[in-house]
Amino acid sequence: MRRDDAEQWHPGSWRAREVAQQPAWPDTEELKRAEARLSSLPPLVFAGEARHLTDQLAEVAAGRAFLLQAGDCAESFHDGSADAIRDKLKVILQMAVVLTYATGVPVVKVGRIAGQFAKPRSAELEEIDGVALESFRGHMVNDEAFDAEARRPDPWRLVEAYGQSVATLNLLRAFTKGGFADLARVQAWNQEFVATSSEGRRYTKIAAEIERALTFMRACGIDLNKEHSLHEVDFYTSHEALVLNYEEALTRRDSLTGSWYDCSAHLVWIGERTRQLDGAHVEFASGIGNPIACKLGPSVAPEDAVELAERLDPDRTAGRLTFITRLGADRVEDLLGPIVEAVSAAGHLVVWTCDPMHGNTFAADNGRKTRRFDDILREIRGFFAVHRSLGTWAGGVHVELTGAEVTECLGGAEAIGQSDLDENYTSMCDPRLNARQSLDLAFRVSELLSLERAA
């Protein structure tokens, strides 16, 4: 779809489009004041970092690297502690080590973190016992408690979300550049409750091998202190660009290139519910310089994916666009192939990554939303199988996880059952893999990747 020159893109051009999944802000003047405040605050990321991520994603698109995107379904204002951030980072680093070691390709690490505060909802209102209130839309908008005051959208939450994102990103930068992510500490990321499990022991073995390799290199006379890449990691942030008032206020012109970047995160994605071609979210994302992603669910036709690629990646830049497919374990093998073929035939070198979580969610007997580890694995297997048959690169996984010992997803090596779900279910939104399940998944994915590399 080509636009005529009368409707040039600018950070607010989405406002002329139909915009899905926005809160009904009760006071638009107050909203404007919050937006003005946000616009006056510094960006969270630097445009050069976003370009660097595009370059690394281009490597993924070309089949020379793998993308690991992971974190909470929804971050919480009540749980932004240093320990929670550290534990999430630990499990992502562990997964990255497993994947890198087993496959020998670089792993691009992207968190669903430092901005993942807004959720699309299937209904505007939630009704309990005859009382209807605005649905919970994430802490950037309102609170999950079921009372009228808590559910009222408050624009100052946009500013609070910015504040928590700044604090989170600051700590992540300190951890990833300040020594915490040093490969010499590979054993130390194994939390106690993980270390005692079978996947924890399997991890310990890899960690010991890495330590031996480092010792060997030191013995050979290599000064490891000089090798920066051993001591730090590039860790990028991402979230769903849902509440566009927030994204617009953080969109800034890069002084080096003159282009616009959404400086709320390195990468932002468009959700399955907001990917309408003429809609506001696609309009907004089309004009920013960041690498962007778009979720594709089972209702997407191959032509829709091609049109989205045309709109979001008109210049056919490798690394610019990532398609995150979430088709469900039962349907991935039927649906994915035609989509990949159509997009490839149109000349787009996109990153293909698999979200095995959202197409496999169901309500347990006690009403808790959950997912089976086996279904998650089955969708990933199907995703790899399709790419292998087409000769395209299964470029990554996108998972919802937490570093804590939660009981939200069923199965895994510790065999969480339906009756265990209530034990430690703390997600405000979708069920997350716990640290052991996440590590288990990393081992399974690394086995699939090794096969793909061999092929």
Nearer CB in complex with ligand TRP: 125/188? 188
Distance of closest approach, residue 52 Cβ to ligand TRP, in angstroms: 13
Identify whether the C-beta of residue 158 lies closer than 8 Å to the C-beta of residue 38.
yes
Q: Does 233 bind ligand TRP (CB under 6 A)?
A: yes
Strand 107-112 with 260-262, pairing? unpaired
Farthest-apart Cα atoms in the chain, separation: 74
Compute how many residues bind ligand TRP; rule: CB under 6 A. 10
Nearer CB in complex with ligand TRP: 207/242? 207
Taking CB under 6 A as the binding criterion, the range among 32-40, 217-225, 227-235, 424-432 that sits at the site for ligand TRP is 227-235
Nearer CB in complex with ligand TRP: 183/243? 183
The residue from 57, 89, 91, 96 that contacts ligand TRP (CB under 6 A) is 96
Q: Which does 430 bind (CB under 5 to 8 A by kind): Mn ion, ligand TRP, none?
A: Mn ion
Distance of closest approach, residue 94 Cβ to ligand TRP, in angstroms: 8
Both tokens of 307, joined, read 């049109």
Between CA 145 and CA 178 the distance in angstroms is 38
Both tokens of 239, joined, read 């979230």
Residues 103-142 that bind ligand TRP (CB under 6 A): 106
The residue from 44, 89, 97, 399 that contacts ligand TRP (CB under 6 A) is 97
Residues 331-360 that bind Mn ion (CB under 5 A): none
Both tokens of 175, joined, read 């951890």
Between CA 28 and CA 23 the distance in angstroms is 11
Burial 209-248 (b: 16+ CB within 10 A, else e): ebeeebeeeeeeeeeeeeeeebbbbbbbbbbbbbbbbbbb
Nearer CB in complex with ligand TRP: 100/360? 100
Q: Show the binding pattern over residues 356-395: x = contacts ligand TRP (CB under 6 A), - = does not.
A: ----------------------------------------
Distance of closest approach, residue 361 Cβ to Mn ion, in angstroms: 8
Q: Which does 73 bind (CB under 5 to 8 A by kind): ligand TRP, Mn ion, none?
A: Mn ion
Identify whether the C-beta of residue 74 lies closer than 8 Å to the C-beta of residue 282.
no
Nearer CB in complex with ligand TRP: 74/102? 102
Nearer CB in complex with Mn ion: 296/343? 296
Tokens 């660097």, located at residue: 52
Q: Show the binding pattern over residues 421-450: x = contacts Mn ion (CB under 5 A), - = does not.
A: ---------x--------------------
Compute how many residues bind Mn ion; rule: CB under 5 A. 2
CA atoms within 13 A on the CB side of 358: 20
Residues paired with residue 131 on neighbouring β-strands, in sequence order: 128
Nearer CB in complex with Mn ion: 22/361? 361
Distance of closest approach, residue 257 Cβ to ligand TRP, in angstroms: 26
Nearer CB in complex with ligand TRP: 225/229? 229
The residue from 67, 93, 206, 377 that contacts ligand TRP (CB under 6 A) is 93
Distance of closest approach, residue 203 Cβ to ligand TRP, in angstroms: 12
Between CA 396 and CA 110 the distance in angstroms is 11
The distance in angstroms from the start CA to the end CA of the chain is 38
Burial 394-404 (b: 16+ CB within 10 A, else e): bbbbbbbbbbb
- Cα→Cα distances 123→51, 135, 169, 278, Å: 37, 7, 32, 22
Identify whether the C-beta of residue 436 lies closer than 8 Å to the C-beta of residue 200.
yes
What proportions of the chain, in percent to the nearest 5, are helix, strand and coil? 45, 15, 40
Q: What is the phi/psi pair of residue 324, to 5°?
A: -105, 105
Q: Which does 233 bind (CB under 5 to 8 A by kind): Mn ion, ligand TRP, none?
A: ligand TRP
Distance of closest approach, residue 181 Cβ to ligand TRP, in angstroms: 5
Nearer CB in complex with ligand TRP: 97/441? 97
Q: Show the binding pattern over residues 35-74: x = contacts Mn ion (CB under 5 A), - = does not.
A: --------------------------------------x-
Number of CB atoms found within 10 A of residue 256's CB: 10
Residues 171-200 that bind ligand TRP (CB under 6 A): 181, 183
Q: Closest Cα partner for 93 from 166, 202, 175, 201?
A: 175
Nearer CB in complex with ligand TRP: 166/230? 230
Q: Which does 20 bind (CB under 5 to 8 A by kind): Mn ion, ligand TRP, none?
A: none
- Cα→Cα distances 445→33, 201, 356, 396, 432, Å: 47, 17, 12, 9, 17
Chain residues that interact with Mn ion, rule: CB under 5 A: 73, 430
Chain residues that interact with ligand TRP, rule: CB under 6 A: 93, 96-97, 100, 106, 181, 183, 229-230, 233
